[in-house]
Amino acid sequence: MTPEQERAALRDWPEPQVCTLLAARVRRVRVEGEESQAEFADRAGVPLRTYKRFELEGKATLLTFIQILRALGRTQYLPLIFPSPLPPRRLTVDDKLNRIRAMRMLELARKSDAPVRSFMPEDED
């Protein structure tokens, strides 16, 4: 599955299919690490029966899924799901001056009914 197909699947598939896909990804990583289900479940702090059900059916509580992600070393990616908003950009002196100039041009244009363009400085080449 290409990355584009995967994004479409995660967006469009029913939730049970998405869960099964995620469980298959976890299983692949576990197998690549040459770890048995019992070893991985123990390392994740999850009962073996619970882990087997997760791999087979994609069913787990959120707590169990977090434990599995932590055992895989993937919890650092969780903030990508709900990124923090960027802090507002501080305006530079030039930004502030440009804003003041723009406001003045708009005010002059309103008073004279002339297009704003007529109040803009000519570009120097």
* Domains delineated in the chain: 3-80 (1.10.260.40), 85-125 (no CATH)
Q: Is the pLDDT of residue 90 over 90?
A: no
pTM for the whole structure: 0.64
- Residue 67, Cβ neighbours under 10 Å: how many? 20
Continuous H helices in 1-125: 3-12, 15-32, 37-44, 48-57, 62-72, 93-112
Q: Is the pLDDT of residue 65 over 80?
A: yes
* pLDDT in the model for residue 125: 46
Question: Mind listing the pLDDT tens digit for each residue in 16-47?
Answer: 999 999 999 999 999 999 999 999 999 999 99
- Which of 105 and 78 is assigned the larger pLDDT? 78
Q: Provide the angle, in degrees to the nearest 10, between the axes of the packed helices 37-44 and 62-72.
A: 100
Q: CB of 67 within 8 A of CB of 77?
A: no
DSSP, res 82? S
Max Cα–Cα distance, the chain, nearest Å: 80
Q: Is the pLDDT of residue 124 over 60?
A: no
Alpha carbon distance 68, 75 (integer Å):
9
Least confident of 17-26, 30-39, 72-81, 102-111: 102-111
pLDDT bracket for residue 103 (50, 70, 90): confident
